[in-house]
Structure 1
Amino acid sequence: MTVAVTGASGQLGRLVVEALLRAGPTPVVAIVRDPAKVADLAVRGVDVRQADYGDPSALARALDGVERVLLISGNEFGARVAQHTNVIRAAERAGVELLAYTSIPGATDNPLILAQEHRGTEAVLAESTVPHVLLRNGWYWENYLGGLAHAVESGVLHGAAGEGRVAGAARADYAEAAATVLTAEAQAGAVYELGGGESLTYSELAQVISEAAGKPVRYENLPEDDYVAVLVQAGLPAEYAKALGDADAGIARGILDVRSGDLEKLLGRPATGAVEVFRGALG
């Protein structure tokens, strides 16, 4: 059984490839835009194939002989449904027996800006002929690393999540869960709502940062628009900052407090805690 991972040079994709290699002996195909970025994987026996989500012909070649594929959602906002559709159509033509897609919790009814293209992709999958499984990944603790140094230095974690809770996990946990699904039987039609066992408010998250850094950090809740302005001032593109502000507002409403237990069932262990991720990032 040959398993392919799209976006295999990315943060999640590389971790999935590593998890598949540990699981062995499944042949692994790494589909990337730039093969040079995964030259080390090729040395280790991974079949590296070049393809871009926007190139149907290259995707067809990349999926030749592949039986299972993980479609990792792209990062080009506004273009993702069309790009993902290219992968789905290539999988149909290649006769792929299972396609797993990294979506977002409750995608069907999730009102977040970040959910829109996931919902569109799930709709394409629902009408496709390729058997598929949905990996509705929750929040990564690594999502907070971009502002971690500033929070430690200033002693303040900013956000707009109020007292809402987020059930996060490490990116590697989601990767390991994906590898488990890709190599398991009878997965077609399954929907996994994935979130960690640790559910934190932002005030509690600030306490975890304090523990990891050995310095006091407190949480300051801001109105959503003010938080977006802080993100833009920090250098984030306006559209992305708006999506993050909207995500925090969603956290305030409990949208990313995923309590299904699916992630830890797939892992067969507790998910990684935030303090471990933050300590690793802070060295």
Structure 2
Amino acid sequence: MSDSTVPARDAASDPPSRDAERIELPPHRFAGLVAPAIDRVFLAGMLAGRDGGAELSARYGGPAATGFLVDFRTRLATPGGTVSGPGFAALTRYRDPAACQRVLDKQVAYGMLQRLPDGGCCATDRGLAFLSELWQVHAGVTAELWAGHEDRVGRLVTALGRVLVYALVLTESDEPGAFAAMAPPHEPEGSPAGVLLLNRLGTLRYHRADAHAAAWTAAGHTATSIAALPPGPERLAIEQETDRRAADPYAVLTAEERLAMLADLAALPG
């Protein structure tokens, strides 16, 4: 990550400022508030690239050839980047494993992905060419979508960089989760701010996904049963536990910075 040189700082170890004391926005509460804001902005960016991405995908064989490349782009575009077998399982935890293997088989047959001995995958040269073009699509659409909001985008890129670096510090290197499989995102030199924002948001969503999976597993659920669980006290308890487990990386931000992040995300169109 281009912000990986920024030292991670645990705000909890610093003396709180008077402003921070007035803003009651602890990390666990912030995690619950920021998650839907992150989802909205990330999905808006991806949706903006749908038409250009579909046209690009069609030139390489369509969704049957490119689906996992798009999903795992920030890992597979990294030079030598791979998604391990355990990482693949975590990233697809809500999907039928056999169906995922069939999809992977098709993309291997199209020459876009290569299987690894542990069940994971990496991009072929053709797959890397597709991802290089996809970066250009995302650069164009995010610049248009967030035009006039360059200051907000810049602030969010910086803040998210710090959060992701701290999340990586807190994550075990051999942890078989979705976040460990995807972080840090691939950020080639010269990447425009809109692409950095889109991909940092997408990567951070995997951190919460792992927190959610840990919360519903602790509550005795499976991926199938949690998907069917209706709203109610049990669902609420799992969401609150998710917030608690997802909160730690946000401790690197002050309460004022958390509030600013919420405001900047809310102000972005999409």
Q: Normalised by the shorter chain, which TM-score bucket?
A: under 0.3
**Which is bigger in relative contact order (C-alpha 8 A, separation at least 6)?**
2
TM-score, structure 1 as length reference? 0.26
TM-score, structure 2 as length reference? 0.27
Report which of the two has the higher share of strand. 1
Report which of the two has the higher share of helix. 2
